[in-house]
Amino acid sequence: MRIIFMGTPEFSVPVLEALVEAGHEIAAVYCQPPRPAGRGKKDRPTPVHARAAELGFEVRHPVSLKGAAEQAEFAALGADIAVVVAYGLILPQAVLDAPAKGCLNIHASLLPRWRGAAPIHRAIMAGDAETGVCIMQMEAGLDTGPVLLREGTPIGDEETTSQLHDRLSDMGASLIVTALRHLDGLTPDEQPQQGVTYAAKIDKSEAQIDWTQPATEVDRKIRALSPFPGAWVDIDGQRVKLLASRLAAGSGAPGQVLDGDSLTIACGAGDGAGAVEILRLQRAGKGAQDREIFVRGFPLATGRQL
């Protein structure tokens, strides 16, 4: 098929590569514009932009698709279909209608659960046992379109957003190739009205750890916010990000270090374990470290209160 690909972050790159591998013609690639990044604050192309350029595709990055000129340029590509994954812009109806077979979105949840911007983070934070990927026909509403294909996967007890992100990206790449191969034979499944939840964008204000919360909630927050923005605590005036964790046995005052070697920290009362074990950390201005290395340079004594 002749495809317009629309995506921006690293999550979208395997999908573009899978479409190319499957032999589809990429008419153009749309992504977010380059933005200042790094210490020099120089404009940096998005991951999709960089990979598409390597592959020799035309890359377009309009700041909006609401204008008549942008919509006419989109329609002039004469695409059979558009594949959209984490693009970052609302598509006006004129854009949705331009490809002969419409626009398909790859969404990283089992719709109608976790519509919106941060489905992977929110699924882990909520303690969902399962998530997955849906191939959805796009319409004007926020992730409201009928689903053509879906595939579920369990969420591991110690899985972080980073790890689940990579798995779902690969699943989405495989599933969209299957969907395009069998497109004419797929029956759209309207989303039910029951079970709708919204995955609001992660706000940095959510990232500070509150040790008075139950251990299950603290553990989920740490894993859900890893690697970005990173759940954090203040230790001796330094912000330390907690990037991996698991539930542990033990009890004590919330925030008490129960074991300085394993970095087992007591949490508030609640169901299940009463503490969490911190597996990976990052001090401000430093690289991420496994706990065994971290405690050599930044020991936290047993009994200390965080």
Per-position b or e across 227-238, b if 16+ CB within 10 A of its CB: eeebbbbeeeee
Q: Residue 226: its pLDDT value, please?
A: 97
Q: Residue 203: its pLDDT value, please?
A: 92
* Among the listed residues 48, 92, 49, 52, the one whose alpha carbon sits nearest the alpha carbon of residue 72: 92
Distance from C-alpha of 63 to C-alpha of 118, rounded to nearest angstrom: 21
Distance of CA 298 to the CA centre of its chain: 31
27 — pLDDT class (breaks 50, 70, 90):
very high
Name the 3-class secondary structure at 249: coil
Q: Under 8 Å CB-to-CB from 249, ≥6 apart: which residues?
A: 273, 274, 275
> How large a percentage of the chain has pLDDT more than 70?
99
Q: Residue 272: its pLDDT value, please?
A: 53
pLDDT in tens, 205-237: 999 999 999 999 999 999 999 999 999 999 999
Average pLDDT, the chain: 95
Range name among 4-8, 15-19, 139-143, 253-257 with the lowest pLDDT average: 139-143
pLDDT in tens, 29-47: 999 999 887 777 788 999 9
Q: Residue 35: its pLDDT value, please?
A: 87
- CA separation (Å) from 270 to 69, 108, 118? 57, 30, 26
DSSP assigned state of 36: E
